Chains A and B, each alone.
Chain A
Amino acid sequence: MSAASGRTGSAATALARRRFLAGAAAGAAALTAAGCARGDSTSAQPGTTSISNDNATWDDGYRSAGRELEKITGYALRPLSNPSVTSYQQVVQMTLQTSKATDLVKWASGYQLKRLARAGGLTDLSGVWDTYAAKGWVRGASRSAVSYRGKVYGIPLYESYYVLFYSKPVFKRLGLSVPRSWAQLLDCAEVLKRNKITPFLGSQSGGWPATEWFQELVTKVDPHFYQKLIAGKASYTDDAARRAMDIWHDFIRKGWMTSPDFDQARGPGALKEGTVGMFLHGTWQAQGIAAAGMKPDVDYGAFILPTVRDSTPKSVIAESGVFTVPSRASSHEAAMANVGSWLAPPVQRTWSDFLQDSSANPKVRSGNPVVAQLQRDVAQERRLPLIRYWESSPPSLIQGNTDDLGGFMAGQTSPATTLRRMQERAQDEWAAWRRDEA
Chain B
Amino acid sequence: MSTSTTDARTAAPDGGSAPTPPRDGRRTPMTPSWRVQRERLTAGGFMAPAVLLVAVFLLAPFAWTVYRSFFGDTRTSPFSWFDNYTLFASDPALFRSIQNTLMWVAGTVLLPFVLGLAIACMTNASRFSRLARLCVVLPYALSGSAVAVVWNFMLTTDGAVNQVLMALNLDSLAHGWLLTWPGNSVVMILANAWQATGVAVILFLVGLQSIPPETLEAGALDGAGGWQQFRHIVLPQLRPVSIIVIGMSLVNGLKSFDLIWVLTQGGPGRATETLAVSMYNETFLELRPGAGAAIAVVLTVIVLAASWLYLRRQLDVKGE
Contacts and interface: CB of A to CB of B under 8 A. Distances in A.
A410 B287 contact: no
B157 interface: yes
B262 to A, nearest CB: 11
Contacts of B179: 259-261, 410-411
A259 B267 contact: no
A194 to B, nearest CB: 19
B93 to A, nearest CB: 8
Contact of A403 (B2, B267, B284): B267
Contact of B269 (A10, A86, A403, A432): A403
Nearest to B155: A261
B313 to A, nearest CB: 36
A222 B67 CA distance: 47
A261 B178 contact: yes
A260 B268 contact: yes
Contact of A86 (B178, B180, B271, B284): B284
Given A406-B267, A412-B181, A400 B156 contact: no
A261 B285 contact: no
Contacts, number: 78
Chain B contact residues, majority secondary structure: loop
Interface in B179-200: 179-181
Interface in A215-245: none
Contact of A14 (B1, B269, B284): B1
B287 A207 contact: no
Contacts of A149: none
B76 A436 contact: yes
Nearest to B265: A207
A18 B2 CA distance: 16
A204 B268 contact: yes
A90 B284 contact: yes
A263 B74 CA distance: 35
Nearest to B283: A90
Given A261-B178, A435-B74, A403 B270 contact: yes
Contacts of A204: 267-268
Given A396-B287, A403-B270, A263 B156 contact: yes
B39 interface: no
A404 interface: yes
A436 B73 CA distance: 10
Interface residues of A, number: 33
Contact of A407 (B2, B49, B157, B269): B269
B286 A396 contact: yes
Interface string B159-183: 0000000000000000010111100
Contact of A260 (B73, B93, B176): B176
Contact of A404 (B49, B73, B269, B286): B269
A408 B179 CA distance: 11
A89 B270 CA distance: 20
A410 B76 contact: no
A412 B269 contact: yes
Contacts of A259: 156-158, 176, 179
Contacts of B288: 396
A86 B265 CA distance: 11
B197 to A, nearest CB: 26
B27 interface: no
A118 B49 CA distance: 40
A406 B269 CA distance: 5
B127 interface: no
B181 A262 contact: no
B268 A406 contact: yes
A5 to B, nearest CB: 15
Contacts of B286: 396, 399-400
A339 interface: no
A436 B180 CA distance: 37
B261 to A, nearest CB: 10
Instruction: Determine which residue in A115, A206, A406 has the highest number of CB atoms from chain B within 10 A of its CB, and name it.
Output: A406
Contacts of A408: 269
B75 interface: yes
B75 A118 contact: yes
Nearest to B93: A403
B74 A410 contact: no
B157 A261 contact: yes
A369 interface: no
Contacts of A395: 287
Contacts of A28: 49
Instruction: Determine which residue in B156, B179, B268 has the highest number of CB atoms from chain A within 10 A of its CB, and name it.
Output: B268
Interface string A254-284: 0000011111000000000000000000000
A409 B176 CA distance: 12
A287 interface: no
Interface of B: 1-2, 49, 73-76, 93, 156-158, 176, 178-181, 265, 267-271, 284-288
13 contacts: A259-B156, A260-B179, A260-B268, A395-B287, A399-B286, A406-B269, A407-B269, A410-B176, A410-B179, A412-B180, A412-B271, A435-B74, A436-B74
